[in-house]
Amino acid sequence: MIGAERSGTTLVMALLGAHPNIAVPEVAWYYPRFRPYIHTYGDLSQESNFRTLVDEMIFGLKTPLWDLPVNPATIVSELVDSADERSFRGAYSAILRRYADHHGKPRWGEKTPHNLFFIGEILEDYPDAQFIFITRDGRDASADYLESAFGPTNIFVAGEFWAFIQQYVQPWRERLSASQWFDLSYEDLVRQPETVLRRVTEFLGEPYDPRMLEFHTGLIAQRRGATRDHAPLGKPISDRYVGIYKNLLSARDQGIFAAVAGDELKASGYAVDVAPIVISEAEADRQREVDSRTRAALLEAPDGHIVYESYNDWLVDRREERRRQGVWTEPATPPFPIGHRFEENITGYRAWRKWKQHFAIKRQYIATGVVL
């Protein structure tokens, strides 16, 4: 389950996770946070290196251990022993299989929005993988972003990244067959949930089950529903969030979005009914920097993502420590997205390291509420 954040990926995660045959845990961010940096763990055929990878993956979950009844002192050894190969795929499969087995389900799926940037790597690991790409009107998704405690803080940056996502997946949409790629419209889903879910389950080769529509009673939905950013998930599916941009975005913001992502909106089937307002490159750079500064400052604000971000930063520290120990050296051609201007966005960071250091944002590893 992939797509731009705030596009309904969490809703689809909860819906499919309520299917009796499919186990879908909380978002993991495993591919964005680990796959591009797998070389920093050294030779994974060495037990100590593979164990380090498993340890960082299982203890780095945003929802600790996915609420599985495990012993933290032994879970890493158990996963290492159950892995069918010493690789990222081996670690990833062992963790997801453990979750599915606990819930007594034969099949597992995973929702991390930015897995969309790792479709090629996922296919390397799982040639038969199936992808559900969720599309929502980028203006609604961006309006949601601007109201949230994470993500872009102005419409220019929100539109720029939304457009980049739509462009990025297009080659895969054209390349993959109808048995592996399914385009799901958020608007269609919330207006005709049973009809759309029947098509989704047919794509997956699973029977339709009405219990999916009871998703909001599940643990994940109830936990998410208790947070400000995901309150709708704790209630039955609704179309009340379609078209929210008309009230939440100013006419100027709508014009800027049309300039930045109008072509992608039209390509996705959405009408653009305002004239584009093109801003200068100097103003675009200013918008990017203001956004970057604001994201760092908001990490410690109410509902901020400081705990999750602290762990992400700790992963970087761990990589650097392994480099100092000689475990790895920089490859001649770093894998995507290392070095890309959107690298930190793609890999799930909520703020840029440069600005976190500039503002001396202190890390926090303990939370009293839900960590998302």
Give the range among 134-138, 187-191, 221-225 with minimum mean pLDDT. Answer: 221-225
The predicted-structure confidence for 316-342, as pLDDT tens digits, reads as follows 999 999 999 999 999 999 999 999 999
**Does pLDDT of 240 surpass 90?**
yes
Confidence of residue 241 (pLDDT cuts 50, 70, 90): very high
Confidence of residue 370 (pLDDT cuts 50, 70, 90): low
Q: How far apart are CA 255 and CA 345, in angstroms?
A: 24
**Does pLDDT of 267 surpass 90?**
yes
**40 near 328, Cβ under 8 Å?**
yes
CA dihedral 95, 151, 220, 362 (to 10 degrees): 70
* pLDDT at residue 178, as a whole number: 98
Give the range among 19-28, 198-207, 226-235 with minimum mean pLDDT. Answer: 226-235
Better pLDDT: 77 or 301: 77
Which whole number is the average pLDDT over 144-150?
92
* pLDDT at residue 371, as a whole number: 60
The predicted-structure confidence for 33-92, as pLDDT tens digits, reads as follows 999 999 999 999 999 999 999 999 999 887 888 989 999 999 999 999 999 999 999 999
Confidence of residue 183 (pLDDT cuts 50, 70, 90): very high
The 3-class secondary structure across 271-311, one letter per residue, is CCCCCCCCCCHHHHHHHHHHHHHHHHHHCCCCCCCHHHHHH
* pLDDT at residue 369, as a whole number: 67
Confidence of residue 372 (pLDDT cuts 50, 70, 90): low
Helices (H), the chain: 9-17, 30-34, 47-59, 75-82, 88-102, 119-125, 138-147, 155-175, 186-191, 193-204, 219-225, 245-248, 251-267, 281-298, 306-324, 343-346, 353-358
**268 near 141, Cβ under 8 Å?**
no
* pLDDT at residue 343, as a whole number: 98
pLDDT, the chain, mean = 96
Confidence of residue 229 (pLDDT cuts 50, 70, 90): confident
Domains annotated on the chain, with CATH = 9-286 (3.40.50.300), 287-372 (no CATH)
Who's near 353: CB < 8 A, 6+ residues apart? 313, 316, 344
* pLDDT at residue 108, as a whole number: 98
Residue 213 is classified by DSSP as G
Token code pair at residue 330 = 């920089």
